[in-house]
Amino acid sequence: MAVKKPAAKSNVSAEELLGYYRDMLLIRRFEEKAGQLYGMGLIGGFCHLYIGQEAVVVGLEAAAKDGDKRITSYRDHGHMLACGMDPKGVMAELTGREGGYSKGKGGSMHMFSKEKHFYGGHGIVGAQVPLGAGLAFSDKYKGNDNVTFTYFGDGAANQGQVYETYNMAMLWDLPVVFVIENNKYAMGTSVQRATRSPSLWERGAAYGIKGEEVDGMDVLAVKAAGEKAVAHCRAGKGPYILEVMTYRYRGHSMSDPAKYRTRDEVQKMRSERDAIEHVRELLLQGKHASEDDLKNIDKEIKAVVNEAADFSKESPEPALEELWTDIYA
Amino acid sequence: MATEVLMPALSPTMEEGTLAKWLVKEGDTVASGDILAEIETDKATMEFEAVDEGVIGKILIEAGTEGVKVNTPIAVLVAEGEEVPAEGAKAETAPAPAALNDSEGKVAAPASAAPAPAAPKADTSPDWPEGTTMKTQTVREALRDAMAEEMRSSDEVFVMGEEVAEYQGAYKITQGLLDEFGARRVIDTPITEHGFAGIGVGAAFGGLRPIVEFMTFNFAMQAIDHIINSAAKTLYMSGGQMGCPIVFRGPNGAAARVGAQHSQCYAAWYAQIPGLKVVMPYSAADAKGLLKTAIRDPNPVIFLENEILYGRSFEVPALDDFTIPFGKAKIWREGSDVTIVSFGIGMTYALEAAERLAKDGISAEVIDLRTIRPMDTDAILASVMKTNRLITVEEGFPQGSVGNYITSVVMEQAFDYLDAPVINLAGKDVPMPYAANLEKLALVTTDEVVEAARKVTYR
Ligand SMILES: Cc1ncc(C[n+]2csc(CCOP(=O)(O)OP(=O)(O)O)c2C)c(N)n1
Ligand SMILES: [Mg+2]
């Protein structure tokens, strides 16, 4: 497999590279397990897997510092794992149990962690965009240098509120990185069938917002772009847009047969551009890790995921009284 | 170790399916992500991927089999070189799903049982101490003072909306705030309700206490997704972690001759939403005391004002820090023959009617709800148990009105006390007309309240 050399500008140590490998693998194995539990009826409703897109959140989290915030859509499991939320709590929320991050009341699409500055988990396409700008507003108002990563899809990019938000975010110099996760499809609608815009990030220009396109299958490229965007925000220059080109391997949600694309298209991305495979090759080629080292990491991750799955099955369903709690603070 | 591959559920509702086609055969080596089979649900044909790696040891269900129940073993996966376990020997299966949808267990009695009617306990304590010095103020001034006082006491409070700063407010409610607090805290927004309502909610998640002014609540329909889906529901969806202390305020309901798209009352809409608090003051004192409470409340509050009331003057207590609690109705006038419940501008008609009725010897008790959610139903029940007759008055549309809800509460908890059917007076069931005469007809009137009172008192 042809592997691109990491860009010279991204100074990463072997240790960091191993860390990214681990983080991406955790997301992939976690999602595969979630898919399996869904198949067994333990997870219900909508369940949107992040498989294929792992490098996006892992790369951007590598550019974040303590105190930075993140917010995203319903396709949120990867974001939560990448920012350090406990896989047990996430999986138990997927199974709707008491031990879940929202006590089982939020589900796959609605989880939050104050501790990790993760602000959800939103089910209305595009709604998280102004919310993310509002989080950035709160940091600017308080006068700190935190940045908010606001993730949304290529489909969400056509919602009007995104542009309302662009305008205000630039007008008020809000420290927000708008991350468009362009996975080429919004459910069954390809980007080309949804817009004639040649690119999504360039739309920011109408509001004076800078941005760029990023290879989302290369975690180092994502990290480098993330660092640039974050530096821009922290310097008080306002928002920045990253259109991260990525791909989801699975259907939109568990119940999507994905007939709008060919098996070959998916297979080609998987075999030629897989982000985890890419880092694996870098690690092996650079002799930063041996096959055995990587096998061991694999085992560790499997154990973490199995533990999360066990927890998510053993944790009881929420007490019936929970129906009536958390309506008002 | 051998692993059973189970028939997967491929949609939220799937219970069984057809194993249409195997894409692997016994002896094939598979890796996670490889497609094993095609499975037909009632909606679509789906590909089924391997999660583990190994060798297909045995195919248990033939291609073409219909009605394969979810979780039935369909194949056995073994490790390279491993034997397929003999029939009957237990291959490792992932545990069967726990009984999740036990229909009895799910929402048990405490959730749905109607509350046992207890004797209503209306809080009739005075809103301010006896002997407090009063000053005359318009509702407009009272609202501005409430915001200014709260902004002075907490830097977390800020105001955002269209024309709130430089222009001093489209209806001059934010007059002087920019001068005192500066552009950091009094923020003009573009005309983007959905966007700035969302930014407000995000800022509340981030620890601030935004006051979001809608130029009128008609335009909050642009933003209602954030008010309900983002602001009202997040605390619940986050299991209590993430509250949203925010006030959405602005004029609501009919002004005068502004036509159908600018004249709607949204009280009943928002009153329907758990997670929201809904306030609709009538007097200046209530406007001030309730707005201060709203700003301090840790929940999203819908604060419905009225353009026609902005310029009316009332007596307001001259206290440094005066608040009115939510969920406490105010009895404006005591009476014994009929209870009239209203809120906001509806109080104008209720009070005028009571005055006229008194002249005819009918004694009406007039209750101002002040907050619609939470609602002081105890005050209503206590009054109905005394007068045995009830009229509700509001400007909103009749179907699904606040009055309809009040009626249901009274039916359930004080049915035996009623001597006449409850009458719900509301705006007419039409979009607001522009023509002056028609607009008058569309609105609820004092005459209608008087007539309804005669009807329920049979006089
Ligand atoms: C306002 C709104 N409209 C429609 C939907 C239904 N819906 C859910 S996800 C989705 C596609 C979104 O695609 P994209 O933004 O590209 O994100 P992705 O799923 O690819 O991550 C749609 C149409 C919704 N949830 N909210
Ligand atoms: Mg997409």
B161 within domain boundaries? yes
B 316-335 near A (Cβ less than 8 A): none
pLDDT at A7: 44
Residue A246: other Cβ atoms inside 10 A:
25
A47 within domain boundaries? yes
**Could B274 and A327 be called an inter-chain contact, meaning their C-beta atoms sit closer than 8 Å?**
yes
Q: Do B214 and B341 fall into the same domain?
A: no
Q: How many Cβ contacts (< 8 angstroms) between chains A and B?
A: 215
How confident is the model over A174-204, as pLDDT tens digits?
Answer: 999 999 999 999 999 999 999 999 899 999 9
User: How many residues are recorded in chain B?
Assistant: 459
Of B292, B317, B342, which residue sits at a domain end?
A: B317
In A, which residues are within 8 Å of B32 by CB distance?
A: 32
A165 within domain boundaries? yes
How confident is the model over B160-205, as pLDDT tens digits?
Answer: 999 999 999 999 999 999 999 999 999 999 999 999 999 999 999 9
A239 in contact with chain B, both atoms CB, cutoff 8 A: no
Nearest Cα to Cα of residue B202 among A258, A220, A131: A131
**Closest approach of B218 to chain A, Cα-based (Å):** 18
A84 within domain boundaries? yes
Domain that holds residue B412: 330-457
Binning pLDDT at 50, 70 and 90, where does residue B96 land? very low
Find the ligand nearest to A251 CA: 1
Q: Do B275 and B354 fall into the same domain?
A: no
pLDDT at A6: 47
A190 lines ligand 1 (CB under 6 A): no
Q: Do B359 and B410 fall into the same domain?
A: yes
A165 in contact with chain B, both atoms CB, cutoff 8 A: yes
Q: Do B195 and B297 fall into the same domain?
A: yes
Binning pLDDT at 50, 70 and 90, where does residue B108 land? very low
Whether B114 shows a pLDDT value over 70: the answer reads no
Q: Do B308 and B334 fall into the same domain?
A: no
Binning pLDDT at 50, 70 and 90, where does residue B82 land? confident
Among B63-72, B94-103, B361-370, top mean pLDDT goes to B361-370
What is the residue whose two structure tokens read 């069967």? B96
Q: Do B156 and B296 fall into the same domain?
A: yes
The total number of structural domains that make up chain A: 1
Dihedral (CA of B157, B161, B166, B168) sign: negative
Which residue in A has a C-alpha nearest to residue B97's C-alpha?
Answer: A42
- DSSP characters for B347-358? HHHHHHHHHHHH
B248 within domain boundaries? yes
In A, which residues are within 8 Å of B197 by CB distance?
A: 130
pLDDT at B42: 80
A162's CB contacts (< 8 A; 6+ apart) are: A126, A129, A152, A156
How confident is the model over B317-360, as pLDDT tens digits?
Answer: 999 999 999 999 999 999 999 999 999 999 999 999 999 999 99
Q: Judging by DSSP bridges, how do beta strands A210-215 and B29-30 pair with one another?
A: unpaired
Nearest Cα to Cα of residue B263 among B294, B309, B217, B295: B217
A208 within domain boundaries? yes
The distance in angstroms from the start CA to the end CA of chain B is 88
**B40 by DSSP, 3-state: which?**
strand
pLDDT at B92: 58
How confident is the model over B22-71, as pLDDT tens digits?
Answer: 999 999 999 888 899 999 988 788 889 888 889 999 999 999 999 999 99
Domain that holds residue A46: 14-306
A329 within domain boundaries? no
**pLDDT under 50 in chain A at which residues?**
1-9
**B282 near B368, Cβ under 8 Å?**
yes
Please state the atom number of ligand 1 nearest to the C-alpha of residue A127: 1
**HSE value, Cβ hemisphere, 13 Å, CA-based, for A198:** 2
Residue B285 CA to its chain's centroid (Å) = 25
pLDDT at A11: 75
Shortest CB distance from B237 goes to which of A38, A106, A323? A106
A52 lines ligand 1 (CB under 6 A): no
Residue B368 CA to its chain's centroid (Å) = 21
Of B44, B60, B78, which residue sits at a domain end?
A: B78
B83 within domain boundaries? no
Average pLDDT of span B96-114: 40
pTM of the model: 0.85
Mean pLDDT rounded to a whole number for chain B: 92
Q: Judging by DSSP bridges, how do beta strands B157-161 and B209-213 pair with one another?
A: parallel
Dihedral (CA of B155, B161, B167, B172) sign: negative
Identify the CATH number of the domain in which residue A300 sits. 3.40.50.970
B127 within domain boundaries? no
A198's CB contacts (< 8 A; 6+ apart) are: none
Of B268, B284, B317, which residue sits at a domain end?
A: B317
pLDDT at B85: 75
Pocket test for ligand 1, best of A181, A187, A189 (most atoms within 8 A of CB): A187
Question: Which run of H or of E encompasses A177?
Answer: strand A176-182
Whether B98 shows a pLDDT value over 70: the answer reads no
Shortest CB distance from B45 goes to which of A113, A114, A257? A257
Find the ligand nearest to A252 CA: 1
B51 within domain boundaries? yes
Which residue in B has a C-alpha nearest to residue A102's C-alpha?
Answer: B239
A279 lines ligand 1 (CB under 6 A): no
Residue A73 CA to ligand 1 center (angstroms) comes to 9
Identify the CATH number of the domain in which residue B335 sits. 3.40.50.920
Q: Do B193 and B273 fall into the same domain?
A: yes
B interface mutation test: which of A33, A255, A261, A302 has the most B CBs within 10 A?
Answer: A255
Tokens for A310? 């066990």
**HSE value, Cβ hemisphere, 13 Å, CA-based, for B363:** 8
Shortest CB distance from B9 goes to which of A39, A112, A270? A39
- DSSP characters for B225-277? HIIIIIIITHHHHTTTS----EEEEEE-S--SS--GGG----HHHHHT-TT-E
Q: Do B309 and B345 fall into the same domain?
A: no
Q: Do B252 and B181 fall into the same domain?
A: yes
Nearest Cα to Cα of residue A82 among A28, A36, A27, A35: A27
A284 in contact with chain B, both atoms CB, cutoff 8 A: no
Identify the CATH number of the domain in which residue B46 sits. 2.40.50.100
**A200 near A243, Cβ under 8 Å?**
yes
B117 within domain boundaries? no
Q: Do B353 and B439 fall into the same domain?
A: yes
Q: Do B143 and B51 fall into the same domain?
A: no
pLDDT at B256: 86
**Could A120 and B237 be called an inter-chain contact, meaning their C-beta atoms sit closer than 8 Å?**
yes
The total number of structural domains that make up chain B: 3
B189 within domain boundaries? yes
Please state the atom number of ligand 1 nearest to the C-alpha of residue A123: 25
Q: Do B288 and B342 fall into the same domain?
A: no
Identify the CATH number of the domain in which residue B205 sits. 3.40.50.970
**Could A320 and B189 be called an inter-chain contact, meaning their C-beta atoms sit closer than 8 Å?**
no
Nearest Cα to Cα of residue B395 among B291, B308, B267, B284: B267
For residue A130, is the peptide bond before it cis, meaning its omega torsion is within 30 degrees of 0?
no
* Residues of B designated as active site: 193, 262
B338 within domain boundaries? yes
